[in-house]
C-alpha cells in the first residue's frame, strides 16, 4: 500500500516511541478512555504527536497509549479501517498491555495526559498524581485543576479539541492522512454533523470544514464508509463476536454473560457451523453458567434475535420457560446446527436491549436462589 502523502513525519514519530521510552527520561502517556473507541484512539495518537513535536515539550517524550490490550484492537472495526486509511500501521501503536506504567511510575518517570475522559480509569487511578494535561468533551469531574492545558468543552468529539490544539500550535502537522483520521472520528461521533443527532456544536462544524480542505476527503463518503465498517463484523470469529461488546454479572448463584452481536443468527451459523462449541468455549473461558447473545441487525428493518447457551439442563429448562413466558416475544428458530444446550429465538419485542434484559434476568435468578 502506498503511503498517504505527508504521513512520513507521523510515521517516523510513532516508529521511534518505544526506543525513546527505553532510553530514559520523563514519559508522558497520552491515554484515552477505557472504552477505547475511535475518538479515544485517534485523539491519543494525534495529541501525543502534536505535543511531542511542540517547542514546549520540555524534553518530555509524549507517547499515545491505547487503553485496551492489543488483542482487542481488531474488534474496533471502524478504527482498523480509519487508521489504515490514514496510513497508520497498528504495529506502531502502543497498547496498555505493552507498556509498564507501574515501572515508569516507581522510577518517577511517568506523566499522564488524559484525552477523551477527565477522570482516570480505575486501573490507572493510582497514577492520578501524575496527570499534567486534560483534553476532553465529557462532563467535567472537577479533577486536576492544575493541569495545563485543561480543556474540557462539551463538543461532539474529543478529536475536535485535539484538532483545534494542533491548528493552534502547528497546523503543518495536519496532512492528508492525519487530517482524515481526525475528520472521520468527528464525523462518526457527530453522525456526520446531523443536527437531529444533537451531537455537533459550532466548533465541530468549523473544525470539520478545515479538516475537509486539509484532507481532501469527501465528507459523506468517509462517513458512510465508517458507519459501514463499524458494523462490519464479517472478519471476526465467534469468540471475537462474543467479546466485542460483552458484559457479565453474578446473579444470585448464577454467573451470566450477555454479548451484543451485530449479525443475524442465520449469518452467524453460516460463518460458524460449530456455533455451540464456540459458545461453550467462550462460556467456559468466562466461567459462565449462562451465556446469552443478543443479535441485532438491520436488513432492511431492525431485527432482534436471542441465543441462549446453558449447559445445565435443569437450569436451562427453568430459564427457557421463564423467557418464553416473558414479554420478550420469543419464537424458537429451529436448527440442526446447534446442540441441546443452545436455544435460538426470534425476539419480537424490539424494546428489549441488554440494559432491559439484565434486570429481568437478575429478578429471575435472584428469586430462584
Residues near Mn ion, by CB under 5 A: 39, 116, 158
Question: Cβ 98 to Mn ion, closest distance in Å?
Answer: 23
Residue 6 or 120: which CB sits closer to Mn ion?
Answer: 120
Contact indicator for 48, 116 with CB cutoff of 8 Å:
no
Nearest residue to the partner Mn ion, using Cβ: 39
Neighbours of 6 (CB within 10 A): 18
Residue 78 or 305: which CB sits closer to Mn ion?
Answer: 78
Grid coordinates belonging to 17: 516511541
Q: Report the candidate in 224, 222, 191 with the shortest Cα–Cα distance to residue 205.
A: 191
Question: Cβ 166 to Mn ion, closest distance in Å?
Answer: 17
Q: Coil, helix or strand for 106?
A: helix
User: DSSP letters of 250-309?
Assistant: EETTEEEEEEEE-S-HHHHHHH-TTHHHHHHHHHHHTT-SEEEEEEEEESSSEEEEEEEE
Virtual CA dihedral for 332, 362, 309, 278, nearest 10 degrees?
130
Question: Cβ 147 to Mn ion, closest distance in Å?
Answer: 18
DSSP state of 334: P
Question: Cβ 91 to Mn ion, closest distance in Å?
Answer: 25
Question: Cβ 64 to Mn ion, closest distance in Å?
Answer: 15
Alpha carbon distances (Å) from 165 to 42, 149, 172, 354: 14, 10, 12, 38
Residue 17 or 118: which CB sits closer to Mn ion?
Answer: 118
Residue 185 or 295: which CB sits closer to Mn ion?
Answer: 185
Residue 160 or 295: which CB sits closer to Mn ion?
Answer: 160
Q: What span, in angstroms and rounded, lies between the C-alpha atoms of 231 and 246?
A: 15
Residue 150 or 304: which CB sits closer to Mn ion?
Answer: 150
Question: Cβ 354 to Mn ion, closest distance in Å?
Answer: 21
**Strand intervals (E) in the chain:** 27-31, 61-66, 94-95, 110-115, 131-136, 150-152, 246-251, 254-261, 290-298, 302-309, 330-332, 342-347
Residue 33 or 61: which CB sits closer to Mn ion?
Answer: 33
Question: Cβ 94 to Mn ion, closest distance in Å?
Answer: 20
Amino acid at each position: 500500500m502506498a503511503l498517504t502523502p505527508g504521513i512520513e513525519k507521523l510515521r517516523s514519530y510513532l516508529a521511534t516511541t518505544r526506543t525513546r521510552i527505553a532510553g530514559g527520561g520523563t514519559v508522558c502517556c497520552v491515554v484515552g478512555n477505557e472504552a477505547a473507541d475511535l475518538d479515544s484512539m485517534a485523539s491519543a495518537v494525534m495529541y501525543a504527536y502534536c505535543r511531542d513535536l511542540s517547542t514546549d515539550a520540555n524534553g518530555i517524550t509524549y507517547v499515545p497509549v491505547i487503553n485496551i490490550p492489543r488483542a482487542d484492537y481488531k474488534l474496533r472495526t471502524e478504527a482498523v479501517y480509519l487508521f489504515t486509511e490514514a496510513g497508520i500501521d497498528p504495529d506502531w501503536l502502543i497498547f496498555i498491555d505493552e507498556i509498564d506504567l507501574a515501572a515508569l511510575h516507581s522510577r518517577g518517570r511517568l506523566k499522564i495526559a488524559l484525552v477523551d475522559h477527565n477522570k482516570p480509569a480505575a486501573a490507572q487511578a493510582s497514577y492520578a498524581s501524575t496527570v499534567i494535561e486534560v483534553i476532553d468533551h465529557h462532563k467535567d469531574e472537577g479533577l486536576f485543576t492544575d493541569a495545563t492545558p485543561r480543556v474540557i468543552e462539551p463538543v461532539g468529539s474529543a478529536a475536535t479539541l485535539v484538532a483545534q490544539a494542533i491548528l493552534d500550535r502547528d497546523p503543518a502537522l495536519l496532512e492528508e492522512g492525519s487530517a482524515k483520521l481526525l475528520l472521520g472520528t468527528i464525523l462518526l461521533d457527530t453522525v456526520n454533523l446531523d443536527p437531529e443527532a444533537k451531537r455537533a456544536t459550532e466548533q465541530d462544524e468549523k473544525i470539520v470544514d478545515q479538516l475537509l480542505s486539509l484532507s481532501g476527503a469527501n465528507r459523506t463518503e468517509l462517513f458512510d464508509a465508517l458507519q459501514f465498517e463499524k458494523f462490519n463484523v464479517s472478519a471476526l470469529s465467534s469468540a471475537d463476536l462474543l467479546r466485542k461488546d460483552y458484559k457479565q454479572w453474578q446473579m444470585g448463584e448464577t454467573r451470566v454473560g450477555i454479548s451484543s452481536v451485530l449479525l443475524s443468527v442465520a449469518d452467524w451459523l453460516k460463518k460458524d457451523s460449530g456455533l455451540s462449541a464456540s459458545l461453550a468455549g467462550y462460556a467456559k473461558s468466562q466461567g459462565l453458567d449462562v451465556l446469552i447473545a443478543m443479535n441485532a441487525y438491520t436488513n432492511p428493518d431492525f431485527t432482534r434475535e436471542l441465543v441462549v447457551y446453558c449447559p445445565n439442563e435443569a437450569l436451562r429448562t427453568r430459564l427457557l420457560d421463564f423467557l418464553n413466558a416473558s414479554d420478550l416475544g420469543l419464537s424458537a428458530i429451529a436448527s440442526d446446527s446447534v446442540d441441546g444446550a443452545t436455544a435460538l429465538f426470534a425476539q419480537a419485542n424490539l424494546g428489549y436491549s441488554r440494559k432491559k434484559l439484565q434486570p429481568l434476568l437478575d429478578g429471575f435468578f435472584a428469586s430462584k436462589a
